[in-house]
Amino acid sequence: MPLIAVTMGDPSGIGPEIVLKSLIRNPELRQQVIVVGNTGALERAASGMHIEEIPDDIKVSDVDGPLSPIGKTGPESGNIAIKSIEIASEMALNSDVIGICTAPINKESIKMAGSSFIDHTDMLKSLTGSEWISTVFESGNLRIFFLTKHLSLMKALKSLNIEMIEQGLEEAQISMNLIGIERPRIAVAAINPHAGENGILGIEEKSIITPAIVKMKSRINVEGPFPADSVYYRASKGEFDLVVSPYHDQGHIAAKMLDFHGTVSMNLGLPYLRTSVDHGTAYDIAGRGIANEESMTVAIKKCLQLSEIYRENYSRIFGGTS
């Protein structure tokens, strides 16, 4: 039976709790999951949940080391989080698991631990030597591809140009091919209100988005730019397979308003599929046993659902073995 690796993320956040809750409340998942992280953090989470004994059939690859206090940043927990990601990635590259699913990490803690990376995406890109990685959110029928990710709004908008959008559209199409959608219907969200109103409310639609779409139309089934206040709704109703979001919060708000706990983040372009929760470490409630594990459960199930077809398509598209 194929396995996936599930990292516990930052051991001082809610990661260990939501991983444990997911596997306790969905016992059918335990045979296909190996948890990667600190066993002490898992036991600490069980104590917060008033669980006396962790089920024997939950498989754990222990990442040894000291822990920072619950709900606090610190290099100790940052180091555990980094090592967990590295181990899970190596397992996937060695085909010991078919994909990985990750609980949230804390950017400040991994920086304190010496990481030069800001997030999972940059770390996994380096660990796998991948040329590019896309981030796609899936919430029900709505899928969102992010042209820019963890940049300030000003930097994100300044970074957009015709060539970048063309490359993004190419990667968006390949991303959908990797999960089995051969000719995706792609919509591009506008930046300005009402898609700029023909230049009255902004020129970016006319000057960079439309030229990129026109150039790519011969190879990609892409339309837009559409006003952002309606295109995500239209996609959620099945009109498009994917919406390209110019900046981080525009797409995040749409997905999380649709279904906060049912949204899954996917990294596509790696030699294996990585899925993740759509939320952070929630230090304010860590250790209290009240975290909602629904997003973790959905992310685990999505990884199990798509990982084999993803690896097959990766081999077909990029050549070699997955």
Evaluate if residue 320 carries a pLDDT over 80.
Answer: no
Domain assignment present for 313: no
Band of pLDDT at residue 198, cut at 50, 70 and 90: confident
Indicate if 80 and 168 belong to the same structural domain.
no
Q: Tell me if 230 sits within 8 A of 189, measured CB to CB.
A: no
**pLDDT given at position 196:** 62
Indicate if 123 and 70 belong to the same structural domain.
yes
Q: What are 101's two structure tokens?
A: 């699913």
Q: Tell me if 22 sits within 8 A of 316, measured CB to CB.
A: no
pTM of the model: 0.91
**pLDDT given at position 204:** 86
What average pLDDT does range 185-202 have in this prediction?
85
In terms of pLDDT, which residue wins out, 154 or 23?
A: 23
Q: Tell me if 196 sits within 8 A of 203, measured CB to CB.
A: yes
Evaluate if residue 321 carries a pLDDT over 60.
Answer: no
For residue 181, the enclosing domain spans 134-262
Indicate if 159 and 208 belong to the same structural domain.
yes
The tens digit of pLDDT for each residue in 273-284 reads 999 998 899 999
Indicate if 6 and 101 belong to the same structural domain.
yes
d(CA 187, CA 176): 13
The tens digit of pLDDT for each residue in 73-87 reads 999 999 999 999 999
In terms of pLDDT, which residue wins out, 188 or 249?
A: 188
Indicate if 241 and 295 belong to the same structural domain.
no
The tens digit of pLDDT for each residue in 33-82 reads 999 999 999 999 999 999 989 999 999 999 999 999 999 999 999 999 99
Domain assignment present for 119: yes
* R_g (Cα) of the chain, nearest Å: 20
Q: Report the SS3 class of residue 318.
A: helix
Closest CA to 169 of 192, 150, 146: 146
- Residue 205, CB half-sphere, CA atoms under 13 Å: how many? 22
Using the 3D structure, point to which of 226, 245, 262 is the last residue of a domain.
Answer: 262
CATH code of 195's domain: 3.40.718.10
Provide the domain count of the chain.
Answer: 2
Domain assignment present for 144: yes
The tens digit of pLDDT for each residue in 205-231 reads 888 999 999 999 999 999 999 999 999
Domain assignment present for 303: yes
% of the chain beyond a pLDDT of 90:
84
- Dihedral (Cα; 231, 233, 234, 236), 10-degree rounding: 120
Q: Burial of 51 by CB count in 10 Å (0-12 exposed, 13-18 middle, 19+ buried)?
A: middle
Indicate if 257 and 274 belong to the same structural domain.
no
Indicate if 111 and 175 belong to the same structural domain.
no
CB proximity list for 100: less than 8 A, separation 6 or greater = 4, 5, 6, 7, 88, 89, 91, 92, 272, 273, 274, 275, 303
Indicate if 225 and 179 belong to the same structural domain.
yes
Closest CA to 144 of 234, 279, 261: 234
% of the chain beyond a pLDDT of 70:
99
Indicate if 128 and 144 belong to the same structural domain.
no
**pLDDT given at position 322:** 47
Indicate if 151 and 236 belong to the same structural domain.
yes
Domain assignment present for 252: yes
What average pLDDT does range 123-150 have in this prediction?
94
Indicate if 188 and 304 belong to the same structural domain.
no
Band of pLDDT at residue 1, cut at 50, 70 and 90: confident
Bridge partners of residue 186, in order along the sequence? 222, 242
Domain assignment present for 40: yes
126: enclosing H helix or E strand: helix 120-128
**pLDDT given at position 179:** 97
**pLDDT given at position 62:** 97
Q: What are 313's two structure tokens?
A: 């398509």
Indicate if 177 and 296 belong to the same structural domain.
no
